[in-house]
Chain A
């Protein structure tokens, strides 16, 4: 483990909304090719934490670095440029656009306007689109508007859009929400595969799903990280059992 570089480093992040402290002095880190699970019940601050990392809500204090580059106050575009990609809790895809167009939107995001106006990279991306669509079982729906996909397929589309650009850090907010057990299994495989190229942060409230998948898990409660460790350590941690597991 120690040979691997620290990919994401979150140090002492605090986020206040007025007098409410949503995240209090929380720290975590992800190494290359590591899958970290961020676990906690609703309202524990894990979503706020995710938003601080992805740049949607900037933290009140603390420091976030990606590959030793400080990104605490950078905007989402700059974070994407640094290699961050995200899948939101409710799939945020372009419902009126086709599956092909959705993936293309992700693929061409950082290209120059003049290339785009000449549609210069269309052919190049088509190969990648087909590859991703095959992997995420969307190949038969390339021409369909995304709104006609099933719930699970929409989630997969968004994950495929996130991994399309080969991010170094992938943020997944409840990637299996509303999926059937079979779909969950598939998703776990896809995520495992993606971790060959990237560090992954999965935000979940379901321990069963992430204990198989994650290398490490951090548990949040009332805005603080109350425990960190391997899935086995977390499962047997009395504090975690007390604040979290008994409630389920």
Chain B
């Protein structure tokens, strides 16, 4: 069944699914850096915001709507910032996971602050009125068309990540994640692995930000802020670090429940999420997607 039929012209559903796909690209970037390479980043939302704001400003101020130009410009800016941050973080001696977390957290904080107070960036109100994008001069005039665009890009990036994780480089990323120092003794240029991965993830996050801007028609400070940064990490924790699909599923489920639960249990819902996170970290450090494996290994023990 084609998505048009599934949504039955319900723009709201279309938007929710589009947003899930956009966040899907964002969560991929966190999974690639933290889940696969062990770079504990709280900065993906900052790069998401950078991509979004770049797109929003270019689209509204320069009247450029061509999606390839918008993505290209968001990419350049995202990669440049990713390069700066990662060179600063990783080119010297090994730094602790906590250090990386704090620096990237600070990055998110700075971005949110800038977005909140800089008049050029809408000073708190964000950048509204971002038009629908166009492809080869053909303007996408509805949410369903934007959905298709986002779907195609999501699938391409998903496949790219899948390909990388399953390549020899995926093994390199894991080697650095599981034991940075050991990897160095084997001769891995650990800083280069981390810098390369961080830039790749910065690129993913900024593309996601760009798609967020054109699909929602608006960017605002909270999209680069601490709350979203923490949420992205939460998705990965719940879904399971190191599993490409786990975080995606966790994000999609949480997004679907989020809207509903906010209405049903407005004050309890955030607390429930907190408890869920705590329980997962204590009892299922590898995330909810490790449950099938645990059941399997329990059965194996019994049969032994």
**Are A and B in contact, CB atoms below 8 Å, in the complex?**
yes
> What is A's interface to B at a CB cutoff of 8 Å?
54, 56, 75-77, 79-81, 85-86, 92, 94, 96-97, 101, 104-106, 108-111, 113, 115-122, 161, 165
Q: Output the nearest chain B residue to A117 by Cβ-Cβ distance.
A: B169
Assembly CA distance A121 to B200 (angstroms): 22
Are B169 and A113 in contact, with the CB atoms below 8 A? yes
Assembly CA distance A206 to B196 (angstroms): 45
- Among B31-80, those with CB < 8 Å from A are none
Take A77-B190, A94-B178 as given contacts and tell me if A117 and B184 are in contact as well, using a CB distance cutoff of 8 Å.
Answer: no
Assembly CA distance A86 to B182 (angstroms): 9
Are B185 and A76 in contact, with the CB atoms below 8 A? yes
Are B168 and A104 in contact, with the CB atoms below 8 A? yes
Are A75 and B172 in contact, with the CB atoms below 8 A? no
Assembly CA distance A101 to B193 (angstroms): 18
Are A109 and B187 in contact, with the CB atoms below 8 A? yes
Interface SS majority for chain B: helix
Are B175 and A76 in contact, with the CB atoms below 8 A? no
Instruction: Give 16 CB contacts A-B under 8 Å.
Output: A76-B184, A77-B189, A77-B190, A79-B185, A92-B182, A94-B174, A97-B174, A97-B178, A105-B171, A105-B175, A109-B187, A109-B188, A113-B172, A116-B167, A118-B167, A122-B168
Instruction: Say if the beta carbon of B181 comes within 8 Å of chain A.
Output: yes
Assembly CA distance A156 to B187 (angstroms): 20
Count of residues in B whose CB is under 8 Å from the partner chain: 25
Are B186 and A105 in contact, with the CB atoms below 8 A? yes
Looking at the complex, which one of B179, B183, B196 makes contact with A113 (CB distance below 8 Å)?
Answer: B196
Looking at the complex, which one of A56, A77, A104 makes contact with B188 (CB distance below 8 Å)?
Answer: A77
Instruction: Say if the beta carbon of B296 comes within 8 Å of chain A.
Output: no
Q: Closest CB of chain A to B290's CB: distance in Å?
A: 12
Looking at the complex, which one of B169, B178, B179 makes contact with A116 (CB distance below 8 Å)?
Answer: B169
Assembly CA distance A106 to B186 (angstroms): 6
In the complex, besides A104-B168, A105-B175, A106-B186, 16 extra interface pairs with C-beta distance below 8 angstroms are: A56-B181, A80-B184, A80-B185, A81-B187, A86-B185, A94-B174, A94-B182, A105-B183, A109-B183, A109-B187, A113-B193, A115-B168, A116-B172, A117-B168, A120-B168, A121-B168
Assembly CA distance A96 to B243 (angstroms): 13
Are B192 and A109 in contact, with the CB atoms below 8 A? no
> What is B's interface to A at a CB cutoff of 8 Å?
93, 163-164, 167-169, 171-172, 174-175, 178-179, 181-190, 192-193, 196
Q: Output the nearest chain A residue to B175 by Cβ-Cβ distance.
A: A105
Q: Closest CB of chain B to A72's CB: distance in Å?
A: 16
CB-CB < 8 A to B181: which residues of A? 56, 76
Q: Output the nearest chain A residue to B193 by Cβ-Cβ distance.
A: A113
Residue in B168, B169, B184 whose Cβ sees the most chain A Cβ within 10 Å: B168
Assembly CA distance A116 to B181 (angstroms): 20
Take A113-B192, A119-B167 as given contacts and tell me if A94 and B175 are in contact as well, using a CB distance cutoff of 8 Å.
Answer: yes
Are B167 and A104 in contact, with the CB atoms below 8 A? no
Closest 6 CB pairs of A and B: A80-B187, A116-B169, A109-B186, A116-B168, A109-B187, A76-B184
Q: Output the nearest chain B residue to A101 by Cβ-Cβ distance.
A: B171
Are B168 and A96 in contact, with the CB atoms below 8 A? no
Are A104 and B171 in contact, with the CB atoms below 8 A? yes
Q: Closest CB of chain A to B16's CB: distance in Å?
A: 34
Q: Output the nearest chain B residue to A78 by Cβ-Cβ distance.
A: B187
CB-CB < 8 A to B172: which residues of A? 105, 108, 113, 116
Assembly CA distance A76 to B163 (angstroms): 30
Are A97 and B171 in contact, with the CB atoms below 8 A? yes
Take A116-B172, A119-B168 as given contacts and tell me if A75 and B196 are in contact as well, using a CB distance cutoff of 8 Å.
Answer: no
Assembly CA distance A204 to B192 (angstroms): 35
CB-CB < 8 A to A77: which residues of B? 184, 187-190
Looking at the complex, which one of B178, B185, B189 makes contact with A96 (CB distance below 8 Å)?
Answer: B178
Assembly CA distance A120 to B189 (angstroms): 19
